[in-house]
Every structure is written in C-alpha cells, then in structure tokens.
Amino acid sequence: MKKFIFTSCVILLLLNAIYFFSCSQSTSSSDYPPGGFKGRIFDSSDHKPLSRVQLTTSPASEGAFTDTNGYFLISGIQMGSSAVNLHVVASKQGYVVDTFMVIVYSNDTANITFSMVPTNGIFVIDGLILNQYTSATSLSGVNMYDMVVEEDIAYDVDIKFRNNTNLVYLKTAYESATNSGLQTKFSPFLGSYTKHEFDTLASYYGASNPISPTADFPNDNTQILLTDSVKNNVYAFFLKGRYSPGYTRVYGLVHIDSAWFDGASNLYKIMVDAKINKNEQNYFIPGTLKK
C-alpha cells in the first residue's frame, strides 16, 4: 500500500512538473517563428532605384544593404510576440537619413516601398557647443566641412570661438602669425532669426548674383558682442581655406543659438547651428533643388 501511495505521489509530481513546464513554454518567444520585411528604395527626385542604402533596426537585427536594383531583405527577426514594432533607419551618403516604423508579424515578411531625398550637396547640423579658449586643446574649434567640434589646434578647423570676458564672437581659424589653420571669411550681419526661421532660410539674401567669394565675404570674424546680444544672430561664410582651383567652393550659414557662462566648468560657451552647400551655390535647403 505504501509503495502504491509513493508511486502515485511521484506520478502526480511528474504531471505537475510537465504542466508547469508546458505553461511556461506557451508564453516563450520560441512559440513565435521569426518574421522579417523586404522592399525597395527609390530616389525621390528621379524615381530611380537606390543601391547601397544601409538599413538598421531597433531592436537590433542583422540589417541589410539594398542591391543594385534597390531591393533589400531583412529576415530572421526574433519575435517576442505575434507582432513587433521595429524602428528602422535608412542611410546613404548624399541623402537625408530616413527613419520610420514597420510592423513585423511572426512567420511573415512585410513588404514596404519608399523614397529617399537627396541632400544636393547641402548638409545641416544643429547644436554644436564650443568652449571658451583656454589652451590649444580647448574644444573651441569647428571643422565646418565635416560639421564636428575639434580641439583649437586641430589642422582641419575652419572656425574658432573666442571671447573677451563676456564679449563673444566667431573668427577664422587661420592664424597669420603662424601661417596655420584654415581660412574662413564671413558676411556682414544678416539679421536675427529664430531657430525655425533659420531652418527655412534658403539663401544669403543680399549677396551678389552669382555669389561673390570676395565681395560678399569681407570679414575675418563675426561681430564682437555681449553674450546676451548674439542670440539668434546669423552670418554667411565661405570656407576659403578649403578651396583649390578646379574644385567647388563651400558656402554656408551659421546661426548663433545662444552664448553663456557655464559656472560648472567656469567657461564661456556658445551653441551654433549651421548649413553648408558643397556645390558652390547660395542655397541651403536640403532635399530640394534651387529654383
């Protein structure tokens, strides 16, 4: 009798274990076969297929590149449920980065088609923060061609931030005394623009037609003003140190978003936004053609 009871208890325990195991498995991701999505990408201006567009996702997957006919396939996406939302980033040099959401279903391959907008040689950067100059390694320089903040001493800096107490300004990186740095020439003050107004500012209005690299850019620096007075000031600039005969000139617009004294670092700082055109045009709206 005792043996029978013992055997029965063992069987019940085994049944319970199997039951709980099956319940835990019923909600695991292995119950949802992988999904994926495919599609084709075109150029929005001429509607031709785009090759070598890189696609990345979040949550992460293998990613993909488009082929010569603009097609791509991303498969094997692990599913935590019957459907997941993927954040997708499509990028290609010379085109505006495109981001979008796609719903991927388990054991299915979604199909999408979209177009990417060419920059037409126009590039935009927001929120570059430059520090007050205190030494050669201060982050007070901007490589405006690549739109990155660099050390003041860097060989490929175009523009430098300078201040005299609470008087601030931007200047050419070229130093005549040492014959170092790249030269940048500035326009006169163009006006005060909000960030939104700057984003939609298409041209250096008042410039010659065609734009003149000498007459329209007479200055080596912006106006020297109090920190409270430079907010929203806009200037055009010419990256003169980048130009060589036979190559296109690079023109740009810079928006001084704000300037302030940062007590934590004990430094003056300035924030700028910029737009450049690498095709020697007085036009600064990416993804559109100059009319």
pLDDT value, residue 223: 96
pLDDT value, residue 290: 58
Local mean pLDDT, 10-residue blocks, the chain (291 residues): 46 48 46 91 84 90 90 91 91 86 92 86 93 96 95 95 95 89 97 96 96 97 95 98 92 97 96 94 79 52
Radius of gyration of the chain (CA): 29
pLDDT value, residue 16: 52
The dihedrals phi and psi of 290, each to the nearest 5 degrees, come to -70, 130
Intra-chain end-to-end CA distance of the chain, in Å: 98
Element (H or E) spanning 10, and its range?
A: helix 2-26
pLDDT value, residue 157: 96
pLDDT value, residue 117: 78
Strand partners, 252: 237, 276
pLDDT value, residue 4: 44
Residues 132-149 as b/e (b if ≥16 CB within 10 A, e otherwise) read bbeeeebbbbbbbbebeb
Strand partners, 175: 180
Contact call for residues 279 and 207 (beta carbons, < 8 A): no
Taking the C-alpha atoms of residue 82 and residue 60, their distance in angstroms, rounded to an integer, is 17
Taking the C-alpha atoms of residue 114 and residue 72, their distance in angstroms, rounded to an integer, is 12
Contact call for residues 63 and 74 (beta carbons, < 8 A): yes
pLDDT value, residue 288: 61
- Which superfamily is assigned to 32-116 in CATH? Carboxypeptidase-like, regulatory domain (2.60.40.1120)
Residues 6 or more apart whose CB falls under 8 angstroms from that of 279 comprise 120, 121, 122, 248
Domain borders along the chain are 32-116, 122-277
SS3 163: strand
In 3D space, the residue among 170, 55, 47 whose CA is nearest the CA of residue 104 turns out to be 55
Q: Which amino acid is at 179?
A: N
